[in-house]
Copies of this chain bind each other. A is one copy, B any other.
Amino acid sequence: MHEIKVRLPSGSYKIQIEAGSLGRCGDQIRAVSAAERVVVISDENVWSLYGSQLEAALVNAGFLVDSILIPPGEGSKTMECFARVCGNMADLHVQRDHLIIAFGGGVVGDLAGFAAAVYMRGLPYVQIPTTLLAQVDSSVGGKTAIDLPQGKNLVGAFHQPQIVITDPDLLKTLDKRHLAEGMAEIIKYGAISDEELFVKLEEYGSIEGALPHMEDIIFHCCDTKRVFVEQDERDGGERQKLNFGHSFGHAIEKMGLYRKHSHGEAVALGMVMAAKTGEALGLTPIGTGERLKRIIQAYQLPTKINVEYKELVHHMSMDKKNDHEGHKLILLKAMGKSMIYTVAEAELSTILEDILELAL
């Protein structure tokens, strides 16, 4: 078993990574909670595959278990679904001494985490991520949120879990598109802070090549994220580097109304755009964008997109990281080294016009 301890001013918690841990997680959760009752928030797919296994583990540890299910997919990360989940919690008479468990991918983790953050002004919760993307990214660091029609993650809270339980065996039922989505974030960790990981991913050469190494890869990514989060829990500085590719990616997702491109696919496209933007600004070594593009293709992620640069810039203008000086972007100084850079909207617009004209 890999174990990572995240130490934050608002509280410390463990990330436990072990194949087969879902069936044993009752004891791990009991170790951090004296609650009598737990409410599991999950999506219908995850619950039908693994719900009975989780429920048995929790009942064995002495918990009374209720569940709230949401439809699978990014379409559930809305104000409407959030309102429904809060209403369900009230109907279940959830109280302050209950424990919430977020059991699913990034959508479930973000939505359930936000509900736990604000229901009765905050309830303790546990993350059990079930997708590769959630296991390497969204389950770590305490960021929770829902989307608005105007932009992703615009309403949310920082709320750290009591423990994160990660079982790589759950990835066996993930389809290739979801695995690829997780790979986008894994590639990101390599690009922003770990050239060694990036080179390994180049060597593995494909999802199939990387799969046997996944427990180590997840550990490595979570530990890298831990370093950023411990430096900057509230996302005011260093932690923003984790958003490499995301300013572009969020805009792409929004333009597709969260349907055409998955989060990981949009981030993959966004990373190539960010690298090429850095090259155009003379801040990123020439060729970095192409190197990123090759690995992204190898992991079955898209590198081409047909959008109007004006529309892209318009949607990027809603990004939380912007201020009145312009768009705050994460750019690469080199492969494995990142920087925060503010670029004026007019300049970004010109650069993106060039990049998109060449179809990346």
Q: Which residues of A contact B (CB under 8 A)?
A: 36, 79, 83, 86-87, 90-91, 93, 95-97, 114, 117-122, 143, 145, 148-151, 154-158, 235, 317-318, 320-324
Contact = CB atoms under 8 A, between A and B. Distances in A.
B154 A93 contact: no
B151 A90 contact: yes
Contacts of A117: 157
A317 B117 CA distance: 22
Contact of A36 (B36, B87, B91, B324): B324
A121 B323 contact: no
B157 A121 contact: yes
Nearest to A121: B156
A157 B157 CA distance: 9
A140 to B, nearest CB: 16
Given A87-B149, A87-B150, A150-B87, A93 B317 contact: yes
Nearest to A94: B154
Contacts of A83: 79, 83
Contacts of A86: 79, 148, 154-155
A90 B148 contact: yes
A120 B97 CA distance: 28
B90 A318 contact: yes
Contacts of A324: 36, 95, 97
A97 B145 CA distance: 19
Nearest to A96: B320
15 contacts: A79-B79, A79-B83, A79-B86, A87-B150, A90-B149, A90-B150, A90-B154, A95-B323, A95-B324, A96-B320, A118-B155, A118-B156, A118-B157, A119-B154, A120-B320
A321 to B, nearest CB: 8
A143 B87 CA distance: 20
B87 A119 contact: no
Contacts of A149: 87, 90
A121 B158 contact: yes
A235 B324 CA distance: 37
A157 B322 contact: no
Contacts of A93: 317-318
> Which of the listed residues A120, A235, A318, A324 has the most CB atoms from chain B within 10 Å of its own CB?
A120
A158 B95 CA distance: 17
Contact of A145 (B121, B143, B322): B121
Contacts of A87: 148-150
Nearest to A151: B90
Contact of A91 (B79, B150, B155, B323): B150
A143 B323 CA distance: 28
A87 B146 CA distance: 12
A119 B318 contact: no
Nearest to A156: B121
A97 B97 CA distance: 36
A159 to B, nearest CB: 10
Query: Which 4 pairs show the lowest CB-CB distances between chains A and B?
Result: A90-B150, A79-B83, A120-B320, A121-B156
Contacts of A118: 114, 118, 155-157
A143 B122 CA distance: 12
A96 B118 CA distance: 20
A291 to B, nearest CB: 33
A288 to B, nearest CB: 29
